[in-house]
Every structure is written in C-alpha cells, then in structure tokens.
Amino acid sequence: MTDPLRTLVLPPLGSLPLSRAASDRDGDARATEHFLDDLWASGDTRVLPIVRGKAPVVDGALRLLGPADIARPDVTVYLGRVDEGFADAGRRVVLAVLDEEDAAVAPPGQWFGLREIAASLDARDTGFFVAGAAVANWHATHTHCPRCGARTALSHAGWVRRCPRDGSEHYPRTDPAIIVSIIDDDDRILLGSAVAWPEGRYSTLAGFVEPGESLEAAVVREVGEESGIEVRSPEYLGSQPWPFPASLMLGFTARAATTDAVPDGEEMRSLRWFTREQLFAAVRDETVVVAGGVSIARAMIERWYGGPLDEEPSEARP
C-alpha cells in the first residue's frame, strides 16, 4: 500500500519526523481468528521488541527479529506490512512488549528511545517504532475494564482489549493537543519555559484539547490561560504523533492581538518575545535551549525563523 503522505497534499509543515511511515497497517486482517498465532509461527514474520519505550537499533536501523529468536511475551500486537520499495516489502511486523532489555537481542547501549534515534531512522523504521511505542503505552496503562474492573484480554491482533465479564471492548486512545507559534505585529515569536523544564529551555505553547472543544478554540483558550495573550486567526500547520505517552500534536500559528505576556506560574515559569536575531544569539550562546529536532515545536520555530537555528538570520528570510 502506498504511504498516504506521498499521495496527499501536505500541510505547511510537510512530513514531520515522527509522521513518516512506510507500511500498510492492514487493519482488515486484525479480526482474523488466531491471526497472531499464525504470524508467530511464520518464519517470514518480523518482530519489533520494545521495552519501556526503547527498541534495539543496530547499524542505524531497527533490529527486527524472527519469531524463533525471541520468547513470545504476553503482549503482542500486529503493526502491519512493510511498504513497497524496501528489501523486505510485504513482510508482516509484530510488536513484542518485553519487561526488560534482552542482551541476546542487543547489548544495553543499543536500546534507544524515539527522541534519541528517530531523526536517523528511515520511514519504515520510524513508522513501526512510533506505532509500537504508542500502543505499548496503552497496553501498559489500560489492563483492566473501566466499567467493572475486571482484567481485560487482548483481541483483534492486539488493537482491542475485551472485558470477559461485561463483554465491553476498549480501544487505544489518542489525546489531541494543540501547539501554537504565536507571532506579533513586529514578527516576533513568543516562547515559554515550563515550570517542569530546566532553566533556559524554551518552546512554543501547547495544551490538551478539552471535551466538546474545537481545535481553534483550544488554541485561544490555552494561550490565554498560560500567557494572558489574546490571539486571533489560528491557522493549521500540520500534525505529528507524540507517543509520550499518547498525544497527537496539532500545530497552529496565530497572530497576537495583545503582547503583555504574563506566565501563569503553574505551567509556565517565564515567557519571552524573540526576534530572529535575539533567538539566534541566545541559542548560539547556549542561554536558551529550544525543542529538539524530532519535535513539531522545532519545525514550527524554524518555519518562522526561515531555516535552521544554527544559521544566522538574513534579510532573505521572512
């Protein structure tokens, strides 16, 4: 199956690092009886082990195993088939959620989290790693039925948990969150430092969408709550999964109608308006650290900046 990102008109931010994928999720196959058992018995199947958000990476690629090379754990999930254009095209990949790193799979120094390694992985590995990490997080925190408290059992190749007592079915959750680059009439960007972050770390403002709320309304509310700034004209820029543990980041830019930024003290420690020259100097001097390269926040900041932050701003940039 062709990657949808190759056939659709992409939003302004384009294909973000954690949005890349090169697989067919093959959802119709999940309901096949004994499907995971059959996959585990097949020598053609490839297994992706994940331990608390980390996977083995060897020579710049995920280490995918054969089922015979690893003991089958309690939680396994069918992730889909490798897309065309890869040497292992068509092969099915199964997630194996392990309790601890297995030195027989990869030594301790070769297990990495998405934040550390995603930028250097190809689209095939990134897509499987993101999906695997997200669904593994869900299984770890949703082991019992929210209705009656009974322990649930895996169904539909690991994509459903079914309650044996009341028959209810429960599906992986994704928490939508908006993230916004706020620009004023002087073309400055507003960045904030969260209370939970180290001193000097700054990023764009973000927050979860509340029930019954539109994305645009969430932009206006979250910015107002965290900074006291009024914004107008939110414009969608793009989205990226953020499985830490279960978010989907929906990127916007918005114009500031007011500029007197006051941190709320609960989520935001400080807020600063930056010109391009000021941000370049602060990053160069290491007095300010901005979001990492795999985050949508970094892409949004660099879109405003006009290029990589390690390059001096020029008049040719917007």
User: In this structure, how many other beta carbons lie within 10 angstroms of the beta carbon of residue 173?
Assistant: 12
The torsion of the CA quartet 215, 216, 219, 222, rounded to 10 degrees, works out to: -70
Place of tokens 């996959």: 39
Instruction: Count the Cβ atoms, other than its own, within 10 Å of residue 117.
Output: 20
Kindly tell me if the per-residue pLDDT of 316 is higher than 50: no
Whole-number pLDDT of residue 9: 73
pLDDT at 311 over 90: yes
pTM of structure? 0.93
CA 88/CA 259 separation, integer angstroms: 53
Read off the pLDDT band of 314 (50, 70, 90): confident
Q: What angle do CA 85, 87, 92 make, to 5 degrees?
A: 90
Please give the pLDDT value at position 10: 83
What is the pLDDT confidence band of residue 5, given thresholds at 50, 70 and 90? Answer: low
Q: Which residue has the higher pLDDT, 87 or 6?
A: 87
Q: What is the pLDDT of residues 192-232, one digit of tens each?
A: 999 999 999 999 999 999 999 999 999 999 999 999 999 99
Average pLDDT on 272-292 reads: 97
